[in-house]
Amino acid sequence: MRWPADHPLLTDEALRPFEPAAAALADGSRVVRVLRHLDRRRVATLLERESDGKLAVLKVFASPRARGNDRRLRLLAAGPAASIVPSSLGVDPRGHAHLLSYHPGRELVELADGDFVASCRQVGVALRRLHDCGAVLDRSWGWPEEAAQLHRQALPSTRPAVDQLLADARNIDGGDWVCAHRDCHPGQVIVQPTGDVRWIDLDDCVMAPRSLDVGNMVAHLRRENLRGARDVEVTVAAEQQFLDGYQAALSVALTGLDRWIDVATLRLAALAATRHRDWPLHDNLMLSRWQESPFGTASGALVSR
């Protein structure tokens, strides 16, 4: 296996020790492109097998996360969620390198407005399929963990709102725990040429309350407007389609949904400032928490583009 000279497995000191394991998994393939690199944490690379041209994704982690990810994906592959998640193709014994199936398509965020809205319904349907697949995972994430993370990530600008939320919410887990994505947002959805959708990056998959994923997706859909990417009408329609798709098969209670939306919004506000240095987006996200939604959940105060 030959890596380009600027590949993170050669240039990132935290990932370089695991290059031999990655090369063994990728034997007989060539690098197409780096899909994502988080410095000193992980890299995902698109590969093409030289013998038949088949594509795959190689993930390499600085921490030994690959064995757990492999175990959970194989569990999902044995149930009704198999067609909407990646397949695990191999993992190195130390748990740093993981080879997964690749499925062509476009990220939800890349679609034009009309297709974006229409696909949001399928996203809701696909999330419900994941939640209802019946898989019982080996780890969980509930309100105590989410509250602790939100508190750790708070900025001086978000801390008063975070403290108020944590004081008011107490415990919003509810009793309906499911197999959840936990990093559920439009960038984690691939829309295939057929219109079907698949989830990617299930590295954080856990047992969690339904509303955690639903609230996170709603907050991210509203963020599309608040960052200037979508008009108000598109954002409102996308949110409605997503929620309708989620409830299409059989309506279920989404316990504490407004609170989970608020949690995700405050987290996004902090990330807008710390990761993206986007203070206008930070301000819009903070202001968005005060206006009522047309759908009866805590809204984003949406803005004209």
pLDDT in tens, 11-55: 999 999 999 999 999 999 999 999 999 999 999 999 999 999 999
Pairwise pLDDT comparison (170 vs 288), residue with the higher score: 288
Single out the residue of 41, 91, 46, 45 nearest to residue 66, CA to CA.
Answer: 91
3 state SS of 118: helix
Q: What is the pLDDT of residue 292?
A: 58
pLDDT in tens, 171-211: 788 889 999 999 999 999 999 999 999 999 999 999 999 99
3 state SS of 86: coil
CATH 3.30.200.20 residue ranges of the chain are 23-101
Q: What is the pLDDT of residue 191?
A: 97
For the chain, what is the radius of gyration of the CA atoms?
20
Confidence band, pLDDT 50/70/90 cuts, at residue 291: low
| Residue 186 · residue 107 · CB < 8 Å | yes
- Count of residues making up the chain: 305
pLDDT at 281 exceeding the cut of 60: yes
Q: What is the pLDDT of residue 304?
A: 43
Which CATH number is correct for 106-290, 3.40.430.10, 3.90.1200.10, 3.40.50.150, 3.20.20.80?
Answer: 3.90.1200.10
pLDDT in tens, 204-259: 999 999 999 999 999 999 999 999 999 999 999 999 999 999 999 899 999 999 99
Residue % of the chain over a pLDDT of 90: 91
Distance CA 305, CA 301 (A): 13
In single-letter form, the type of residue at position 154 comes to A
Look over the chain and give the mean of its residue pLDDT values, rounded to a whole number: 94
CATH 3.90.1200.10 residue ranges of the chain are 106-290
Q: What angle do CA 26, 31, 37 make, to 5 degrees?
A: 95
Q: For the structural domain made of 23-101, what CATH number should be given?
A: 3.30.200.20
Single out the residue of 30, 249, 262, 42 nearest to residue 127, CA to CA.
Answer: 249
